[in-house]
Amino acid sequence: MIIEVFAVRAEAREREKLGQSVHVAMTIVVFIMCVVGIVGALAVESPSANILTHFAGERFIAAVSFGLLLMITLLFPLINFPMAVALDSLFSPRGAGPNFGRRRLISFLGLVAIIGMDTLVPDVDSVFSLAGSLGLGLMAFTLPPAAFLAIKDARRGRFVVVALAILLLLAGVALTGGSTSFTIYDIATRNTTATNSSSAVSNNTIV
C-alpha cells in the first residue's frame, strides 16, 4: 500500500493535504487491526483462517467488521490509480500524454476483476493467498529487476550486477508463477472437495 501512496502523491495537486490524509487513514487502519488482533487473541484459543467468524452475533465485532469493510473498499481507488496509470503508459506511444478514456476503461475492468474474484473465491484466506502470491512476487522480486534491465545505461553496467538482475528476474517469475499456480490449484481442489461432500450429504439425506 505504501508504494501506491507514493504513486498518488507524485500527481497530487496539494501534497501537504495528502500527507495529512494518509496519517489519519493509517491511524484508523492500525487501530482497527489492533482491536481485531487483541480481541481475537484473548477470546479464541485456536482461531481459524478468518478469526471474525468466531464472533457471529456480537455487535461490537460486527461494528469492527463493518469498519474493515469500509477500509478495504476505500483502498480500491488508492490501489487502482497507479495500476491505471502504469497500464495507460504501457499502451501509449512514446511521448504521448495520458489517455483518460483508457484509464477509465482499465479502472472498470479492474473493478470487474475484483468483484469476480470475490464472487468466485468466497474464502477470505484464499483471496489473501492469491493477493500475496501475485503481489509479493511481482512487487518484491519481478518488477524491480525488470525495471532495472529496461534502462539502457543500466544494462551497460558491470556484468555481475546485470547477471544478478537477470537471475533475480527469473527467480521472481518462477516464484510468482509457481506460488500463484499452486494457490489456484489448492482453491480448485478445495472447492471440488466441498462440492463432492455436499453432494454426498444430499444423497444420504434423500436416501
How high is the mean pLDDT of the chain?
Answer: 76
E-strand stretches of 82-207: none
pLDDT in tens, 84-122: 887 888 888 777 778 888 888 988 998 888 788 777 766
pLDDT in tens, 24-54: 777 877 787 787 778 777 877 777 666 777 7
Q: Which residue has the higher pLDDT, 20 or 205?
A: 20
Q: pTM for the full model?
A: 0.52
SS3 content of the chain, % helix, strand, coil (to 5): 85, 0, 15
pLDDT tier for residue 156 given thresholds of 50, 70 and 90: confident
d(CA 30, CA 64): 12
Task: Please list, residue by residue across 86-111, b when 16 or more beta carbons sit within 10 angstroms of its beta carbon and e when fewer do.
Answer: ebbeeeeeeeeeeeeeebeebbeebe
Q: What was the pLDDT predicted at 120? A: 76
Q: What is the largest CA-CA distance in the chain?
A: 73
Q: What was the pLDDT predicted at 196? A: 57
